[in-house]
Amino acid sequence: MLTVLAEIRTRPGSHHRQAVIDSFAIAVPLVLEEEGCHGYQPLVDHAAHVAFQATAPDSILMVEQWETVAHLEAHLQTEHMKEHNARVKDSVLDVHIRILEDAVKS
């Protein structure tokens, strides 16, 4: 099982981040039905007001779980992801993707 962390940096302004979140509201149910997908959740910073928290108000962190890289690659080619990317293209500055595996094997 792979865990994917995708940090999506939006243009400054809460309306840009909200546009991306609204688009994810459409895409998430479709992605969760894809073969090999075991989790797909957009997350934003919680206002914890603690000194040790790093925040990024113009950022959304996607936490995804995929069986294989092939499943992830197929996901990126789906029609609903192409539609999502078209909806958010004016609001997204960049995306950084990390593909992770368990460090401690049981």
Instruction: Write the DSSP assignment of 21-68 as a string of letters.
Output: HHHHHHHHHHHHTSTTEEEEEEE-------TT----TTEEEEEEEES-
pLDDT score at 106: 79
Q: Which two tokens stand for residue 92?
A: 């997204």
Q: What is the DSSP letter of 11?
A: P
Domain 2-100 in CATH 3.10.20.600: no
pLDDT score at 25: 98
Regions of the chain with pLDDT less than 70? none
Q: Please, which residues have CB within 8 angstroms of residue 5's CB and are 6 or more apart in sequence?
A: 61, 62, 63, 64, 97, 98, 100
pLDDT score at 37: 98
- Strand 2-10 and strand 37-43: the pairing is unpaired
Give residue 16's identity as a one-letter amino acid code. H
